[in-house]
Amino acid sequence: MFNYFRKEIDWGGRKLVLETGKIARQADGAVMVRYGDTIVLCTAVGAKTAKPGQDFFPLTVNYQEKSFAAGKIPGGFFKREGRPSEHETLVSRLIDRPIRPLFPDGFRNEIQVIATVLSHDLENDPDIVAMVGCSAALTLSGIPFFGPVGAARVGYVDGQYVLNPQPDQAQLSQLDLVVAGTREGVLMVESEAQELPEDVMLGAVTFGHAQFQPVIDAIIALAEHAAREPWPLPEPDEGHKTLAGRVEALARGALTDAYREQQKQLRHERIDAAKKAAAEALTAEGLDAAAAKPLFKELEADIVRNAILDTGHRIDGRDTRTVRPIVAEVGVLPRAHGSALFTRGETQALCVATLGTAQDEQIIDALEGEHRRHFMLHYNFPPYSVGETGRMGSPGRREIGHGKLAWRAVHPLLPSKDKFPYTLRVVSEITESNGSSSMATVCGSSLALMDAGVPLARPVAGIAMGLIKEDRGYAVLSDILGDEDHLGDMDFKVAGTDRGVTSLQMDIKITSITPEIMRVALDQAREGRLHILGEMSKALTGARSDVAANAPRIHVINVPKEKIRDVIGTGGKVIREIVEQTGTKIDIEDDGTIKIAATEADRAQAAIDWIRGIVAEPEVGVIYTGKVVKTADFGAFVNFLGSRDGLVHISELTQGRVAKTTDVVNVGDAVKVKVLGFDERGKVKLSMRVVDQATGEDISEKVGPKGGRGDGRREREAAAE
């Protein structure tokens, strides 16, 4: 019944198993990949024909995690998986980036790739397994795909590279790097690092490329038995050649002149005018102007790329290494806890930092379990930033991906929660964009956090590198423009400090690049990064000495663990009262750590005193201030030290004989009491008689004999109470 095939290899000390022919047989390609007990089903389906007039490649990659994979039931009201989580979106992008360049030029058929996590052993990351599975599914599908692609995660522990580190190794690693590519070279890199040198980063990439070669071999071996017949590629269209020739003749001159304009908006206006004129001429000649759209892009790429290789000068007149002019400003928003406006050429990011408490942490419900995130970085790309109209809504894949890249760049420099117990949120609003707004976000976020008083270990900056590669040579470009990204061969983003790299992301639009080109790009990026850090230092060289006046101050105290229940109270009654009365936010941890946050120092101190009063033990001979909470015939009960109650017997209320307790005190009175001791049940015995109620002075040596009723009832009343 099943035409089943299986390929197994040992990879990184664990078995990697590829299976096909049993599940999802109606998909063009379907592969079940198992690594340890992590299992991902990957499918690929393609439309047999392209939609008429479609001028782009409609590839969609969907990575989805099923809660049952980790033996969980989804949270929320509906109890089923909903829209993709941020993590699922990021992994979808991770799979998309290395496979997209490997489809034929001009291929316009719709392709959908789906990776579904069916089992997660909580040791082997399903993202790498999904990347391998999607590559295998495409290779088996018959869809035109110049793969297969391999992928691996690389760690760096004690000076050694580690392939696909497991959780215990990952905790010790200075690097989390994902690399993907073909046999020939690398196509994609994504990483977070602890300020590692460029040569260590390059070594990690080459290590990962070497380590996933057996995976590529396994996919090929599986394909030899199970691959479908390849789809025929469209035959070259003679009419296409004619159309290309006319586009060349009609538009080259005007487009060449347009690309000499250095101002982005004016340049785009001239480019649009040149295309419109050429399209009208094509229509007048009876040719299909709509079919010429991709030909205009090819012509633009040829003009820009060859100009750079021939002259060394770029669209805006710079050479290949120069970074655009930079203006860095901080404190631009008066009510924000920290803010920065970072402008580099025609790219601008307004970054705002907000400090919160543990109650503001983001709760992440992942397959690995629920955890909290105390640093969030959100990136927004409104359409006005590029002078366009567009939909405004929830963040898309681009916004989520760019935000995570900036998060990885800044995260290694943040202080630990023990040293700086705040929840941090940075929002980057891209107000202008012409190349690498994600790296502007890194720079602006670093400045905004320091402006907020967050003690970053060092400032962080980022730069985007580009590549023009032809048979006759190549050029690496520092601080690329949007057009250079659009028409170039590489988008290589490097972020870090003056000590090393904290994040590296690379996407290649050609089949691969060499280690030599990567080394040149890394060295050139370091030069640019140091220049940007120097420009940023003109605004701020380090974190401010204190947080903003309107930011919460967090005070940390520790209480014995056995006292936590006293601070919380029955049903949370005590802690709620403290919060309501003092206007503070209070977080209590299981180890007895209590964090009190308030914008006013006196409110925080009131909460601290209240809590310390609750957990403190009364000391014999010490005088305390308390409040009468109950009266009885035999005396008054006084609340002191927060929630502690003690009895002032009627004979200890004042000098001389007292007929009625209420002749001396009433409920609600503030009094000063001295601890006399404890009875056999541990109840506190107090005295007002030996304390001067005006000054709080101990007058026990000055007073005469104790008063009272003199009828011998004291012991009986206290025992009864």
Name the fold adopted by 623-720.
OB fold (Dihydrolipoamide Acetyltransferase, E2P) (2.40.50)
Q: How many CA atoms lie within 13 A of 396 on its CB side?
A: 8
Q: How far apart are CA 326 and CA 328, in angstroms?
A: 6
CA 294 → CA 50, 55, 290, 300, distances in Å? 15, 7, 9, 10
DSSP structure string for 543-608: --SS--TTSPEEEEEE--GGGHHHHH-GGGHHHHHHHHHHT-EEEE-TTSEEEEEESSHHHHHHHH
On whether the CB atoms of residues 596 and 607 are closer than 8 A, the answer is: yes
pLDDT (tens digit, 9 = 90+) per residue, 475-527?
999 999 988 888 888 999 999 999 999 999 999 888 767 888 899 999 999 99
Spans of the chain below 70 pLDDT = 234, 236-239, 512, 642-643, 704-721
What pLDDT does 718 receive? 46
Backbone phi, psi, residue 17, to 5°: -120, 130
Q: How far apart are CA 444 and CA 434, in angstroms?
A: 16
244: Cβ contacts below 8 Å, ≥ 6 apart: 295, 298
Instruction: Report helix, strand and coil shares of the chain as percent, to nearest 5.
Output: 35, 30, 35
Strand arrangement of the beta sheet that strand 59-65 belongs to: 5-11, 14-20, 29-35, 38-46, 111-119, 59-65
Q: How far apart are CA 30 and CA 113, in angstroms?
A: 10
Q: How far apart are CA 550 and CA 552, in angstroms?
A: 7
Nearest to 654 by CA among 611, 699, 711, 718: 699
Strand 375-380, strand 423-432: pairing: parallel
Q: What is the DSSP letter of 691?
A: B
Hey, do 5-226 and 326-536 end up sharing a CATH topology, with the first three levels equal? yes
What pLDDT does 291 receive? 80
Q: Specify the amino acid at residue 460.
A: V
3-state secondary structure of 413: helix
CATH of domain 5-226: 3.30.230.70
Name the fold adopted by 239-311.
Arc Repressor Mutant, subunit A (1.10.10)
Domain extents for the chain? 5-226, 239-311, 326-536, 553-615, 623-720
Nearest to 60 by CA among 83, 44, 49: 44
Determine how many CB atoms are found less than 10 A away from the CB of residue 248.
14
CA 444 → CA 265, 293, 343, 513, distances in Å? 24, 37, 9, 31
Residue indicated by tokens 């050649």: 241
326-536 classified as CATH 3.90.1640.20: no
Nearest to 13 by CA among 177, 149, 124: 124
pLDDT (tens digit, 9 = 90+) per residue, 679-707?
888 789 999 999 999 888 988 888 766 65
> CATH number of 553-615: 3.40.50.1220, 3.40.50.1360, 3.30.1370.10, 3.60.20.10?
3.30.1370.10
DSSP structure string for 214-278: HHHHHHHHHHHHHPPPPPPPPPPPHHHHHHHHHHHHHHHHHHHHHTT--SHHHHHHHHHHHHHHH
What pLDDT does 543 receive? 93
Q: Is the peptide bond before 144 cis (omega within 30 degrees of 0)?
A: no
CA 147 → CA 23, 98, 101, 220, 228, distances in Å? 23, 10, 10, 9, 15
